[in-house]
Structure 1
Amino acid sequence: MSSSRLPARIGTFRQLEILMAIAESGGIAAAADRLHLSQPTVSMQMKKLADNIGAPLYDLSGRRLALTHAGELVLQHAREIFDCTDRLEMALDQLRGMHKGRLSIGIVSSAEYFAPHLLGPFYRRYPSIEVAFNVGNREELSARLKNNLDDLYIFGFPPTDTDVELTELGENHLVVIAPKGHPLATRQRLRWEDIADELFIVREEGAGTRIAVEHHLQRLGYSLRHQLTIASNEGIKHAVLARMGLAIVPSLCLDEGDQRELVQLPVAGFPLLDHWNLVFRRGKTFSVVAETCRQYLLDEGRAMYREATLYWEQHQRPKLPTR
């Protein structure tokens, strides 16, 4: 009978939305707050959905909530359903001659200095589009990519445990920085041996910049003997300004103010050369808006970044990619 088919039993879109909120926020209370609902309402809707599915959707152990296998399956397909409705809405807007819709971009934290500048002209061109920038460290962005939560991602080192497609956006120069008052700040030429015993301020384990630095140093036969970990480039710059140590950072994270207080040390073998990549899940179905943005980034965005890179190479100071 038709009434026994899953579409007739699965409940409402709202129930699927609540399940997604529970999974993404980590609990009933957080999901209720996010959706402006009461906790009893959230619990009741999830009970109805579980009854219709015929299996529990999550387990509660103390304050910890974990989705069951059935809950994970429903969550996965709920996301696909909402992706489909988003694409339908945007396609209908396109038929009406309007550039409307939603665009979600995941940006690894080291790229937050330049990525908004790349996307600025796109947003000004299509001001009716709702754009969400989700900035996080590599581990957080890898989890979002694995769960297919965003349309596009900007990574230095994409995760290797998810099937993705990637295209290089541009070069990432990693430079050694020191405070201007450092004894080595006035030297015209340095070898690694001159700085090998310095304390280095580094990103957390698993961060893309740290992986890139360790990979390149190993290739050059170098290593960081003394390290202090800070989980943001902004925090690292302030630690260097406070004369806590040296650091290796992306050149474009240094603004004009940093240039007055920090120096790039002329160490042989530097800058280290890495790349930024535009990444998405292999086989992903793009909305019209997401595909338009992808093409924009690979064309105009990449050209803007190339201009900024050439400026840095010529002047040894950053210029944000703007138009």
Structure 2
Amino acid sequence: MNYTLHQLQVFVKVAELKSVTKASEALHLSQPAVSIQLKNLQDQFEIPLIEVIGRQIHITEFGHEIVESSKKILKEVNDINYKTLAFKGQLVGQLKISVVSTGKYVMPYFLNEFVNEHPGIELNMDVTNKLKVVKSLEDNAVDFALVSTLPSHIDVKSEPLMPNTLLWVANQDYDFQYKNNLNALKKVPLIFREYGSATRHAMETYMKSYDFPVGKRLELTSNEAVKQAVIAGLGVSLMPIIGLKNALLNNIVKVVPSKKCPITTEWNLIWLKSKKLSPVAQAYLDFIKKEKHDIIDNKFNWYEDYISSL
């Protein structure tokens, strides 16, 4: 047997994602490179590891056994690397963060310097909708979560990061001419985020407050998809401006003034109140408390300037 750690890593990722294409993207490899590694690993076993039925990859019973063994081997190797770095006095371990989808425009800027300062840290950041973010926190599967609305059914501690401002936006073809376009907004197609999104909740709360009629609506599952639909002229949406920098500054979309807008909430880094933070997690929290204002000043100056100009 001459299988390599790289072959085991590739096989585990293919098994997790059930796709060579997705595995290649996750590992930053070409599809042919992933296929070659799979073949080289399979050639060392007489029993099939995977079966391809139609276009779907299925892991065989024997393959599942190899996956579990591979995970143990890879974990031991990682542990050796961590121990080596720790022996040299470096901060080592995993930092797990779950981020609501719009938070992908925020969180990387609050991670970059910390991760670069500590090469022994393995970052795992999952970007998903609010329901899944809160569930991962509730299950103690992550150290921190980034949300704009604090969950009410679990006890958490929080560290405020920066404002989250939402505005009605449309493409340049829509003709909104007034300082308050509430009545006009009630007549146009509206674009929503999916159920469970904090942005959708804010939009529905606003509509309920001002008796919006049930009219044409489109539902999409990401902030980026909503933005592209707005740009294409499919409708109007209430969106966090943090993800609209280029579209706003280049006049690709425009703000629609309306009653009691903008709506401002706050991005919060939260963690379970009962959780004992790991050394890595505690170090990151200390970093955030110390550096967050400088990060905002250096990375989000356009954001503050744009809000103040409204």
TM-score after normalising by structure 2: 0.68
Match for 1:230: what amino acid? L
Q: 1:194 aligns with which of 179, 184, 187?
A: 184
1:164–1:280 Cα contact (<8 Å) kept:
yes
**Cα distance in 1 between the residues matched to 2:153 and 2:231:** 37
Matched, 1:236 2:258: no
Cα drift, residue 212 of structure 1 = 2.4
Cα drift, residue 309 of structure 1 = 6.1
Post-superposition Cα deviations, 1:196-231, rounded to whole Å, max 9, x if no partner, equal: 11111011111111112333454x535463321111
Find the counterpart in structure 2 of residue 39 from structure 1. Answer: 61
The 5 Å alignment of 1:1-323 reads 39-40=61-62, 42=64, 94=86, 96-184=88-176, 187=177, 189-218=179-208, 220-223=209-212, 225-226=214-215, 227-257=217-247, 259-260=249-250, 261-305=252-296, 311-316=302-307
- Shift of the 193–299 alpha-carbon distance from structure 1 to 2, 3 Å rule, reads farther
- Shift of the 95–302 alpha-carbon distance from structure 1 to 2, 3 Å rule, reads farther
2:86–2:92 Cα contact (<8 Å) kept:
yes
**Cα distance in 1 between the residues matched to 2:223 and 2:195:** 14
**Cα distance in 2 between the residues matched to 1:177 and 1:129:** 39
- Shift of the 202–97 alpha-carbon distance from structure 1 to 2, 3 Å rule, reads same
**Cα distance in 2 between the residues matched to 1:101 and 1:169:** 24
User: Is the partner of 1:276 in helix, strand or coil?
Assistant: strand
**Cα distance in 2 between the residues matched to 1:258 and 1:250:** 12
- Shift of the 253–192 alpha-carbon distance from structure 1 to 2, 3 Å rule, reads same
Post-superposition Cα deviations, 1:66-100, rounded to whole Å, max 9, x if no partner, equal: xxxxxxxxxxxxxxxx9xx98xx979955641122
Match for 2:287: what amino acid? Y
**Cα distance in 2 between the residues matched to 1:281 and 1:240:** 37
Structure 2 unaligned regions, length at least 5: 1-11, 19-48, 51-58, 69-74
**Cα distance in 1 between the residues matched to 2:291 and 2:225:** 31
- Shift of the 145–26 alpha-carbon distance from structure 1 to 2, 3 Å rule, reads farther
User: Is the partner of 1:112 in helix, strand or coil?
Assistant: helix
1:202–1:229 Cα contact (<8 Å) kept:
yes
Moved more, 296-305 or 309-318: 309-318
User: Is the partner of 1:266 in helix, strand or coil?
Assistant: coil
Moved more, 189-198 or 242-251: 189-198
- Shift of the 308–316 alpha-carbon distance from structure 1 to 2, 3 Å rule, reads farther
**Cα distance in 2 between the residues matched to 1:142 and 1:281:** 10
Cα drift, residue 122 of structure 1 = 1.3
- Shift of the 166–216 alpha-carbon distance from structure 1 to 2, 3 Å rule, reads farther
Post-superposition Cα deviations, 1:1-24, rounded to whole Å, max 9, x if no partner, equal: xxxxxxxxxxxxxxxxxxxx9xxx
2:101–2:222 Cα contact (<8 Å) kept:
yes
2:109–2:295 Cα contact (<8 Å) kept:
no
Query: What is the percentage of aligned positions where both structures have the same residue?
Result: 23
Structure 1 unaligned regions, length at least 5: 1-20, 47-81, 319-323
